[in-house]
Chain A
Amino acid sequence: MAVTEDPLALTTGEAATVERPLGVLTRPQGGNGWRDWLSTVDHKKIGIMYGVAAMFFFIVGGIEALLIRVQLAAPNGSVLSADIYNQVFTMHGVTMIFLFIMPLAAAFANYLIPLQIGARDVAFPRLNALSFWVWIGGAIFLNSSWIVGGGGADCGWFCYSPNSGLAFSPSHGVDFYAIGLLITGIASLVSAANLIVTVLNMRAPGMTLFRMPVLTWMLLVTQFLLLFALPVITVALFLLLFDRLFGAQFFNPEMGADPLLWQHLFWIFGHPEVYIIILPSFGIISEIIPTFSRKPIFGYSFMVFSGIAIGFMGFGVWAHHMFVSGIGPLSVWAFSMSTMFIAVPTGVKILNWLATMWGGKLRFTTAMLFAVGAVAMFTIGGLSGVTHALAPADTQQTDTYYIVAHFHYVIFGGGVLGLMGGMYFWWPKFFGHMLNETWGKLHFWTILIGFNLTFGPMHVLGLQGMSRRIDTYSPGFGFEFWNLVATIGAFVIALSVLFFFFNVWKSRRDAPNLPPPGPDPWDARSLEWMVPSPTPEHNFDEVPVIESDDEWWHRKYGYDENRNVVRIATVEEAAQDGSATGVHLPAPSFWPLVLAAGLPLIGYGLIFNLWLCVVGGLLTGIGIYAWALEPVDDPDADHGHDHDHDDHHDDHHDDEEAPVTAGDEEA
């Protein structure tokens, strides 16, 4: 049976024979100083960096949200000018989607996929580091438009043309939007290819596809969605950028162009994007609910196949965002039908979660509360979503607050609550101590109440006819009361986020005085719980051989002669103790950071001065070649055998927007 951890295998004690290829940067060693974080290729450290950065941008996007709500709290709001208001709501949407939810999901994907499939790292550890650095470069670039670009993008997160053209948006905000999203797109594309290969190729012996945890499955589907949806928005963003920078005529109606082209390209990406946001949360919920119901997930294969079905069908419903754009009755009919059908696999998932809980021994920990809350809130959002599938109803709802309410119930209610639950669930695995349950529950209930106070009233406002994206409203339309309620709700959400950060601080402070959580504090089911908390650098002492789904559960529990579940091993007996030494791990590298640093420079160059492009291009080029010439194995370390893995010239993954080198590091 194939064992996958090739260069990560235990050392055989032979001397390394790789010579040092470049004396420019000393090859970094493992450790915990800041250099080690900059050069790490460890999927766990990268996952944590994704999580920390995502939470930072959650605060940024949250402040933008509060500004919006302050402006709308009362009629004739004058906190923000109309221009600034446009920038704030645009950047709120872009930040929350591309810089908060997607990277937070990437944090879970990076940290958990290798652990859940029994691997020591992802397939391409250096590419994984590259994804993170490219992403954070893009994120910083995007937000730097506040300072150097004359303000943020002001075209709404879907940036419809011709609003996004130079005529209506003359500042550099939209350029920053386009280039920033291109850069973060490169990061997601690289990470998608990396994680797909990881899941397909790096599984432990016996870990067949249909023994993988549902979370890994949902993340796999997400990576396929990214792989196939990102190139579409890449095209759209390039066309927009060429229009703005070089005077191309893609979206200028005066020249015979069709602005609807942007809408199609954007939503061919944009609808799968909705599932890119929600499926990781579905996966997390599918791990939490069985654990705290003490039952296996109900209808595992239905869960997996409905996830795959959502992935496929997600590409066939995009034009339901365009029912009022004049796409013709036949298109409206077809996309209305397909949209109603996509509710079916989603409903299957909700019913399966309920059936998992049915008759289970429920434990309402904070993680479980978040998971159940996410299911409930997502159901509300899903139902209001079905109302938009009916084109005549949608015509009334389009561009009103009803839509805002709907997608916040889906994305915040279904997505963010699920991810928050994941944090409480896996926090001991990430950091070696639990989050405080009392503060956690306080966090949950305040966020649930604040969320419903904020977005529930928006259904009413929308049906009353309040337009989305207006910067203020006059008194007398009946909008005053519910807007005030929504604003209060937004501050309740902000309070709950403060509770969360306080909890993080408090739990860390209290941790030394509390018993350690041990490998498996929740009596959980999947492989990550059989290694110590926090996860040792090498993940598994021995690569486990998988004999069933819920492998870890079956190592702890068996059946007696009456088919009753009985404990057959304690956690201590069944778990690994993390004591293996000399495990051969991929060497850290600075080159992903160097390569990634070039891309924002190219971006600034395109906007301000082409010479900067040359500098950025050189940096990226140097990064690529240095990377390709750097052996996977660390020449300075005294670890095992030389695999003859020399990956000089594997710069074959380059393309013009993704100068990415795939090391042939089967690590």
Chain B
Amino acid sequence: MATATDAAVDTADHGHATSTGISNTKLAMWAFLGSECLLFGGLISTYLLYKTRRGPGPDNTVIPTDVFDIPFTSVSSFVLLMSSLTMVLALSAITRGDNPATRAWLLTTSMLGAIFIGGQVYEFTSFLREGVGYTHNPASSAFYTLTGFHGVHVSLGIVMLMSLFVASKQGKLRQEHSETVEIVGLYWHFVDVVWIFIFTVIYLIPVD
């Protein structure tokens, strides 16, 4: 009969054994990401439903699709896509125990994320200048809400990455903590795949 004492033996050599053999935190993260699919699905569906709904006029008829700047958004989407690469490179570095490289890639990833957020701020302000106010029509409300929620997710990701960076600087993030980087990475990649979806479905697919 396995007893609690056996469990202590297990833990002594860092066997983090669970019933399924997988880490609790990682499982919780994936469950959370599964749940997030429903959150973004709802916001995206709301936008799709409303994307051509203009106000009755005269000041509220401009909708986001009228003022999309595809070349600009393509560049910022590309930046976010590449941040996924630097994120996996950070994970790869910490699993090798290469702390300076880990910090470098974490920092690069945050910077790319920050560029994306900067691009979004620029996009929002230029849309506002062109007459797409948040309260003007269902299309604009839905657009700002969807991309705003995504932006908040990216920003929180940047906060997490910078926390990891600081922890690594203080020597608290070492090779044996690579799972922490992996889990923050899962969140980051998820935010990226959501944008892959948004970029295609919201920006690129032509509106009739």
Binary flags per residue of B7-22, CB closer than 8 Å to A gives 1, else 0: 1101110101111111
**Which range holds the interface residue count of chain A?**
35 or more
Question: In the assembled complex, which residues on chain B have CB atoms less than 8 Å from the CB atom of A545?
Answer: 1-2
Question: In the assembled complex, which residues on chain A have CB atoms less than 8 Å from the CB atom of B186?
Answer: 652
Complex CA gap A480/B134 in Å reads 51
Question: In the assembled complex, which residues on chain B have CB atoms less than 8 Å from the CB atom of A1?
Answer: 2
Q: Contact between B28 and A242 (Cβ–Cβ < 8 Å)?
A: no
Q: Is A46 an interface residue (CB 8 A)?
A: no
* CB-contact partner of B145 in A200, A205, A242, A643, under 8 A: A242
Q: Contact between A256 and B137 (Cβ–Cβ < 8 Å)?
A: yes
Given A3-B6, A228-B34, A235–B21 Cβ distance below 8 Å? Answer: no
Q: Contact between A4 and B11 (Cβ–Cβ < 8 Å)?
A: no
CB distance from A200 to the nearest CB of B (A): 6
Question: In the assembled complex, which residues on chain B have CB atoms less than 8 Å from the CB atom of A9?
Answer: 4-5, 7-8, 10-11
Complex CA gap A239/B143 in Å reads 12
In the complex, which residues 154-208 of chain B have their Cβ closer than 8 Å to any Cβ of chain A? 156, 159-160, 163-164, 167, 172-173, 176-177, 179-180, 183-184, 186-187
Question: In the assembled complex, which residues on chain B have CB atoms less than 8 Å from the CB atom of A560?
Answer: none
Q: Contact between A189 and B35 (Cβ–Cβ < 8 Å)?
A: yes
Q: Is B128 an interface residue (CB 8 A)?
A: no
CB distance from A189 to the nearest CB of B (A): 7
Q: Contact between A7 and B145 (Cβ–Cβ < 8 Å)?
A: no
Question: In the assembled complex, which residues on chain B have CB atoms less than 8 Å from the CB atom of A5?
Answer: 4, 7
Q: Contact between A543 and B17 (Cβ–Cβ < 8 Å)?
A: no
Complex CA gap A11/B186 in Å reads 34
Can you name the residue of chain B whose Cβ is closest to the Cβ of A256?
B53
Can you name the residue of chain A whose Cβ is closest to the Cβ of B170?
A648
Q: Contact between B18 and A201 (Cβ–Cβ < 8 Å)?
A: yes
CB distance from B173 to the nearest CB of A (A): 7
Q: Is A571 an interface residue (CB 8 A)?
A: no
Can you name the residue of chain B whose Cβ is closest to the Cβ of A3?
B7
Complex CA gap A658/B182 in Å reads 20
9-residue interface stretch from B36-44, B79-87, B112-120: B36-44
Question: In the assembled complex, which residues on chain B have CB atoms less than 8 Å from the CB atom of A249?
Answer: 55, 135-138, 140-141
Main secondary structure of the interface of A (DSSP, over half): loop
Can you name the residue of chain A whose Cβ is closest to the Cβ of B162?
A649
Of A4, A8, A254, A255, which is in contact with the most chain B CB atoms at under 10 Å from its CB? A255
* CB-contact partner of A666 in B23, B43, B159, under 8 A: B23
Of B3, B19, B142, B176, which is in contact with the most chain A CB atoms at under 10 Å from its CB? B19
Complex CA gap A254/B55 in Å reads 8
Question: In the assembled complex, which residues on chain B have CB atoms less than 8 Å from the CB atom of A257?
Answer: 50, 53, 138
Of B2, B172, B176, which is in contact with the most chain A CB atoms at under 10 Å from its CB? B2
Report the interface size for chain B: residues with CB under 8 A from the other chain.
70
Q: Contact between B28 and A662 (Cβ–Cβ < 8 Å)?
A: yes
Q: Contact between A542 and B3 (Cβ–Cβ < 8 Å)?
A: yes
Q: Is A238 an interface residue (CB 8 A)?
A: yes
Question: In the assembled complex, which residues on chain A have CB atoms less than 8 Å from the CB atom of B184?
Answer: 649, 652
Question: In the assembled complex, which residues on chain B have CB atoms less than 8 Å from the CB atom of A238?
Answer: 145
Question: In the assembled complex, which residues on chain A have CB atoms less than 8 Å from the CB atom of B31?
Answer: 192-193, 196-197, 227
CB distance from B13 to the nearest CB of A (A): 11
Q: Contact between A231 and B35 (Cβ–Cβ < 8 Å)?
A: yes
Question: In the assembled complex, which residues on chain B have CB atoms less than 8 Å from the CB atom of A207?
Answer: 19
Q: Is B32 an interface residue (CB 8 A)?
A: yes
Binary flags per residue of A92-124, CB closer than 8 Å to B gives 1, else 0: 000000000000000000000000000000011
Given A228-B34, A234-B39, A644-B14, A649–B4 Cβ distance below 8 Å? Answer: no
Question: In the assembled complex, which residues on chain B have CB atoms less than 8 Å from the CB atom of A203?
Answer: 19
Binary flags per residue of B40-60, CB closer than 8 Å to A gives 1, else 0: 001100100110011110001
In the complex, which residues 128-153 of chain B have their Cβ closer than 8 Å to any Cβ of chain A? 134-138, 140-142, 145, 149, 152-153
Question: In the assembled complex, which residues on chain B have CB atoms less than 8 Å from the CB atom of A227?
Answer: 31, 34-35
Q: Contact between A543 and B39 (Cβ–Cβ < 8 Å)?
A: no
Q: Is A438 an interface residue (CB 8 A)?
A: no
Q: Contact between B135 and A656 (Cβ–Cβ < 8 Å)?
A: no
In the complex, which residues 226-277 of chain A have their Cβ closer than 8 Å to any Cβ of chain B? 227-232, 234-236, 238-239, 242, 246-250, 252, 254-258, 261, 265
Q: Contact between A248 and B11 (Cβ–Cβ < 8 Å)?
A: no
* CB-contact partner of B11 in A6, A232, A654, A664, under 8 A: A6
Q: Contact between B25 and A662 (Cβ–Cβ < 8 Å)?
A: yes
Q: Contact between A256 and B138 (Cβ–Cβ < 8 Å)?
A: yes
* CB-contact partner of A248 in B32, B49, B134, B163, under 8 A: B134
* CB-contact partner of A193 in B35, B137, B145, B167, under 8 A: B35
* CB-contact partner of A655 in B1, B36, B137, under 8 A: B36
A-B contact pairs, 12 of them (CB 8 A): A123-B28, A230-B35, A232-B38, A234-B39, A247-B135, A255-B56, A258-B49, A258-B50, A543-B2, A646-B177, A647-B180, A651-B163
Q: A248-B145, A664-B180 are in contact. List 10 more A-B contacts (CB 8 A).
A: A2-B19, A2-B21, A9-B5, A124-B24, A189-B35, A238-B145, A246-B134, A248-B141, A249-B55, A543-B4
